[in-house]
A and B are shown apart, each in its own frame.
Chain A
Amino acid sequence: MSTTTQLLRFITAGSVDDGKSTLIGRLLHDSKSIFEDQFSAISKTSEKRGMAAVDLSLLTDGLQAEREQGITIDVAYRYFATPKRKFIIGDTPGHEQYTRNMVTAASTANLTIILIDARKGVLTQTRRHSYLASLLGVPHVVLAVNKMDMVDYSQARFDEIVAEYKVFAAQLGLHDVHCIPLSALNGDMVVDRGDNLDWYQGPALLELLEEVEIDHDVNTSDFRFPVQWVCRPQTGEYHDFRGFAGRIEAGEVSVGDEITVLPSGWTTRIKEIDTYDGKLQTAFAPQSVTLTLEDEIDISRGDMFVRSSAHPPKMEKEFEATLCWLSETPLDRSRKYLVKHTTRTAKALFSRLDYRVDVNTLEQHGADKLNMNDIARVAIRTQQPLVFDSYGIDRATGSFIVIDEASNNTVAAGMIA
């Protein structure tokens, strides 16, 4: 395997009925990513359940608790590789907690596969999945029109579904949408092209996953560096060393660049870009590096470095965001919560609850409370200012989580805009 392969993270959205598990199973099986011991285990189970062929959907079957109750517990991650790319699949179940799970898996994904049953076409859940993909800013969408074998591999049916979906996707602002007809059951257009879809000229699913361009998904122009950890060895030759360790979340930085430290507003220049493997002249997102500065400035975890000449981020104590409530305990507006945004954690109040979004119809409703899986427009006030960008511009500096201080649970996820 080449050592220059890239990493693509994708999720699959759809219910068991759409053949989601079968699709993942087919992808793993036909790309030769299933091991013999795994295959023999599912063969035995299929036989025990009286099935004629090996049920590939069993590959994504999970824990004992799930098998007993016939449910799937939130997100499982699966891995496979081809010579061109390494893949991480965020596999989410399709039951009632769907919003919470899909939001979680989509937050780190480069691409979403939205699965449709060719017989049923665009359904309410298709709209819900697409809305969540757009809300979480997943850059690429694949509409996989599955079960083409059940509609005689009809091009007319496929075209009809695609036409309907494209109108809807455009409304949501999903720009990069690819549509593929396939049969996960028979393996048409998943890894191999098969013999049944000759009228389709585009790439098969795996080919698309291998080729989709992901280099330009991160913001490459505006340097953003949240200080994560201050490196002060205080020993021997490093007695005076004071480095600021962190990951570049967006853009790039070079030795000698003038940077501004926020929220204090001090400016200085980059003295060195340090890594274990040696010093760099230039570093870029998403590298983890240690920066040293020309001037001694009081800097701690939670501060953000930005390039002075670049487009500045916002710095506010009050901001609006779209929130997804994840906890079984509803929002209590009389309480203070913690907001963790990049490397800064601040006390926060929900100052306004504007409306709730119905994920099925996208209609806005008045809201006085938030329950699990609710998505809402809110205003938040924090004790200290946060340094942020709009989520649409930068996922890393535009997102935050909400923590309940009493339980320490993560209760919500937010996107600033």
Chain B
Amino acid sequence: MKLVEDNLRKHTFTHLDALESESIHIMREVAAECKNPALLFSGGKDSIVMLRLAEKAFRPAKFPFPLVHIDTEHNFPEVIACRDKLAADLGERLIVRSLEDSIKRGSIVIKDESKPRNPFQSVTLLETIAEFEFDACLGGARRDEEKARAKERIFSFRDEFGQWDPKNQRPELWDTYNTRVHAGENIRVFPISNWTEMDIWEYIGREKLHIPNIYFAHEREVIRRGGNVIPVSHLVQPKPGEKVEIATVRFRTVGDMTCTAPVESAARTVEEIIEETATTRITERGATRMDDQTSDASMELRKKEGYF
């Protein structure tokens, strides 16, 4: 009898169940120990997974934190629409702070409108943290995305300047997390640290999550520039000599429109994306994030400056 039960368990408690349980545990630690947390929510696939995990952690109660979006105003409209719909459907509070506010205040100076705004996101994020006095921000970053992230703790301490010091991180043992900060300091918490791109897609499929349609194959006007496929938008127009073509593409990540490249793909369902993810030979960021290609250490530098 015992053996039969054990066998049953072995086949029903999957790696996704293990990851999900770990993430729920992390979110509940934040809710229980932090005074004023927030969940950073962009409308992208990872943060949509984060919302489902928050539902699993806290329902039937409301989330013990608001959702916060730092809007570059360089976002794809489909993603923003999805962000607003999800927050409304869940009945949770959504706080949006825009880079435009920081630009008006003068804390961000933009020289070229067509350039990516990711480097400036940290400024508005830190201003928002100060405005609401958040002591913890839950984020949907994963360790498999990038090598700076691979070395970051699940509970990642930031000093009063919002800075990450990779050489001076708190040891993190077992599942016993140190959530303590002094006034003005902040912790970034990454409950899906141990998830991979594949896990995210399998979970989206399993949970039947609604994600922005630009993750699925669609026809789009693009230009080819320096080996990248770049979506044409009001921010990115062809330069003289460049040809606009219609390609069948999907986005593996959705971020700043000026630096997020789609991949050519015919995958129109989650199942097809899972199949494609299993066989792809290029990393998620390598294929799609032009701002991370500029230098081997781009992400590391941005994180040190307070990027989540």
Contacts and interface: CB of A to CB of B under 8 A. Distances in A.
A90 B181 CA distance: 26
B95 interface: no
B174 A396 contact: yes
A26 B245 CA distance: 41
A402 to B, nearest CB: 10
A65 B151 CA distance: 12
Given A1-B202, A4-B14, A410-B178, A215 B6 contact: yes
Nearest to A237: B60
Contact of B297 (A7, A63, A75, A85): A63
A281 interface: no
A410 B170 contact: yes
Contact of A5 (B6, B14, B180): B14
Contacts of B31: 229
B176 interface: yes
Interface stretch (A101-109, A119-127, A353-361, A363-371): A101-109
Given A63-B297, A64-B296, A288-B24, A103 B173 contact: yes
Contact of A403 (B144, B180, B194, B278): B180
B176 A231 contact: no
B169 to A, nearest CB: 7
Interface stretch (B50-58, B77-85, B228-236): B50-58
A230 to B, nearest CB: 9
Interface stretch (A31-39, A174-182, A255-263, A376-384): A31-39
Interface string A393-415: 00110011101000011100100
A104 B56 CA distance: 28
Interface in A230-282: 231-233, 235, 238, 241, 245-247, 275-277
B32 A76 contact: no
B15 interface: yes
Q: Identify whether the interface residues of B are mostly helix, strand, loop, or mixed.
A: helix
Contact of B178 (A79, A342, A396, A408): A408
Contacts of B10: 6, 215
A62 B61 CA distance: 41
Contacts of A61: 147
Given A75-B151, A86-B196, A301-B32, 5 more contacts: A65-B167, A104-B171, A231-B61, A247-B25, A277-B56
Mostly, the A contact residues are mixed
A229 B151 contact: no
B206 interface: yes
18 contacts: A1-B278, A3-B202, A4-B11, A6-B10, A6-B15, A85-B15, A228-B32, A231-B58, A238-B60, A238-B61, A245-B57, A247-B25, A247-B175, A286-B22, A287-B13, A301-B32, A403-B180, A408-B181
A38 B283 contact: yes
B150 A38 contact: no
Nearest to A100: B171
A396 to B, nearest CB: 7
Contacts of A107: 173-174
Contact of A276 (B11, B56, B178, B287): B56
Contacts of A276: 55-56, 59
Contacts of A6: 10, 14-15, 18
Nearest to A228: B28
A417 to B, nearest CB: 15
A344 B206 CA distance: 34
Interface in B168-199: 169-176, 178, 180-182, 193-194, 196, 198-199
Contacts of A206: none
Contacts of B166: 63, 65, 73
A63 B151 contact: yes
Contact of A233 (B56, B62, B194): B62
Given A231-B60, A233-B62, A245-B57, A410 B147 contact: no
A92 to B, nearest CB: 11
Contacts of B108: none
B11 A64 contact: no
A233 B61 contact: yes
A236 to B, nearest CB: 9
Given A275-B56, A284-B9, A64 B173 contact: no
